[in-house]
Amino acid sequence: MATGRAHRPATRSRGIPEATVARLPLYLRALTALSERSVPTVSSEELAAAAGVNSAKLRKDFSYLGSYGTRGVGYDVEYLVYQISRELGLTQDWPVVIVGIGNLGAALANYGGFASRGFRVAALIDADPGMAGKPVAGIPVQHTDELEKIIQDDGVSIGVIATPAGAAQQVCDRLVAAGVTSILNFAPTVLNVPEGVDVRKVDLSIELQILAFHEQRKAGEDAAGDAGVVPPVAARKQQHSTGSADQGPDGDVPAVMPA
Amino acid sequence: MATGRAHRPATRSRGIPEATVARLPLYLRALTALSERSVPTVSSEELAAAAGVNSAKLRKDFSYLGSYGTRGVGYDVEYLVYQISRELGLTQDWPVVIVGIGNLGAALANYGGFASRGFRVAALIDADPGMAGKPVAGIPVQHTDELEKIIQDDGVSIGVIATPAGAAQQVCDRLVAAGVTSILNFAPTVLNVPEGVDVRKVDLSIELQILAFHEQRKAGEDAAGDAGVVPPVAARKQQHSTGSADQGPDGDVPAVMPA
DNA sequence: AGGTGTGAAGTTTTTCACAGCC
DNA sequence: GGCTGTGAAAAACTTCACACCT
């Protein structure tokens, strides 16, 4: 169905730009690291460096949350950690179900960043009856048949799909029907969901393709010499900026996890 | 070296917007599916629906590549597949090394979407000597000591880091020193790289946090009473992408590990 | 009729740069 | 002196809407 549609109409007064929301987790991670080293305060410059963005952007982002800094000094680390956590809704417990316990699902289940960020793996679900009962990351895998029951009993509102592409839409439909309203999709397919349900997608190969695009640009630039195939249109290559990014792609949001 | 090239700003630039580049893999995936079903042509409307974007955006995106459609008809599927592949640099072979063969690394190694898109897993590398020689996805894992040799011998320019956060920067430094100029980072840490090296990151917990933010908002803003108009959450929709990247392309994701 | 290609308008995001407070 | 907070300007991106080709 339609995929089109824009974004939010800005919920009432609290209008934090989407781009800012996408960076809050980044800041939070950097701040958490500082907190663990017992650093009391940071300047926008330092924090920005740690998060991989520029300081003006960071200050602007924080300005949407409120005035939590002190001129001439910087930001109080603990305080900011709390404010951002609260803004992101991480001060509450979010039960999450992971469907599809293959290598990726297992990697996700083992991901430590979950628990420490307000997320709790409520259940691991797989369609393979042979997996049932088998523990992964200390949690016994349950069969797909249990899906609805688990979601309802635990009040799960966030689901993670790590199944093969072919099963994703079906799993998605069941999750939504059972009450899930936010889905993180790792399957390389476009999911159709009813209005009111959020879907975020993470695709391993898309990122690589984007890298290939830039890589090609670096290498080529003239020695293209692709005279093999038919297609017309001169081989006008070109260079585009990216301007030799040194660090992180500040504008992105993708996500997956570490091993 | 890289920075050398005396290129002028060039007024008529062929620079494709970053946002467009990030969507090309999506279109490519949708087109590939159509191609497999032997569909000869598609309209921007149909293709947009399949890719999860709106048609105006899609047409605009394609306009940066050239005029590959036919008015009144649509786009030739095969031709577009070729053009986009070429634009992304997927018509050539990209050897890739994956460092860190835990669950995630294994999931990546098994990911079918790579091979079918111009990527070739040149090597799997892990720091654990016990893993050496063990085959994952049919490829024997090699020890980190071999890293430099592999990169140089195979002319690898793209590296994937799937190690724990603590090892990421070190691995990154070695990759860069050995000649890698594009890195896909799955470790939840900001990598420092010299100019000229591209880094894209994928972080699971960040995506979940963004979902939590929106989820929290849904819960908290429930309009009571059914006045008759759309009550809560105005018009939200589905898939979204953010700034730089997030969608997902093809192939199939991990797989359910049979016993 | 049907559908692309694209200026122009509209929106969001980033960057600048500096007033204002510590 | 140092650093935040933020209007204002700039840039990037999206959407509109329609001329124009088939």
Profile chain A (259 residues) by mean pLDDT over runs of 10 residues: 34 75 98 98 98 98 97 98 97 96 96 86 98 97 98 98 97 98 97 96 94 91 42 31 33 34
Q: Which residue has the higher pLDDT, A41 or B3?
A: A41
B120 inside domain: yes
What is the share, in percent, of chain B residues with pLDDT greater than 70? 80
In chain A, which residues have their Cβ closer than 8 Å to the Cβ of B104?
103-104, 107, 256-259
Q: What is the pLDDT of residue B14?
A: 64
B241 touches strand C (CB under 7 A): no
The CB-based long-range contact list for B79-87 (8 Å cut-off, 24+ gap) reads B79/A231, B80/B27, B80/B31, B81/B28, B81/B31, B81/B32, B81/B35, B82/A229, B82/A231, B83/A231, B83/A233, B84/B24, B84/B27, B84/B28, B84/B31, B85/B28, B85/B118, B86/A226, B86/A231, B87/A213, B87/B16, B87/B24
Candidate from B22, B213, B235 with C-beta closest to A88: B213
Instruction: Kindly report the CATH number assigned to the domain that includes residue A135.
Output: 3.40.50.720
Same domain, B151 and B193: yes
Q: Residue A80 CA to nucleotide C22 C1', Å?
A: 19
Q: What is the pLDDT of residue A14?
A: 62
Query: What is the least distance, in Å, from the CA of A161 to any CA of chain B?
Result: 10
Q: Do B87 and A188 touch (CB under 8 A)?
A: no
Domain edge (last residue) among A33, A67, A87: A87
Chain A residue nearest residue B222, CA to CA: A11
B148 inside domain: yes
Q: Do B215 and A204 touch (CB under 8 A)?
A: no
Q: What is the pLDDT of residue B194?
A: 96
Name the H helices within chain A.
18-36, 44-51, 55-65, 77-88, 103-110, 147-154, 165-178, 204-219
Protein-covered nucleotides of chain C (CB closer than 7 Å) are: 1-8, 12-17, 20-22
A140 touches strand C (CB under 7 A): no
| Nearest nucleotide (C1') to alpha carbon of B63 | C5
Q: What is the pLDDT of residue A249?
A: 36
- Residue A142 belongs to what domain range? 94-204
A255 inside domain: no
Domains contained in chain B, number: 2
B76 touches strand C (CB under 7 A): no
| Nearest nucleotide (C1') to alpha carbon of A70 | D4
Same domain, B29 and B65: yes
The chain-wide mean pLDDT, for chain B, equals 84
B109 inside domain: yes
The tens digit of pLDDT for each residue in B36-78 reads 999 999 999 999 999 999 999 999 999 999 999 999 999 999 9
Candidate from A105, A217, A245 with C-beta closest to B254: A105
B227 inside domain: no
Same domain, A175 and A111: yes
Q: How far apart are CA A193 and CA A176, in angstroms?
A: 8
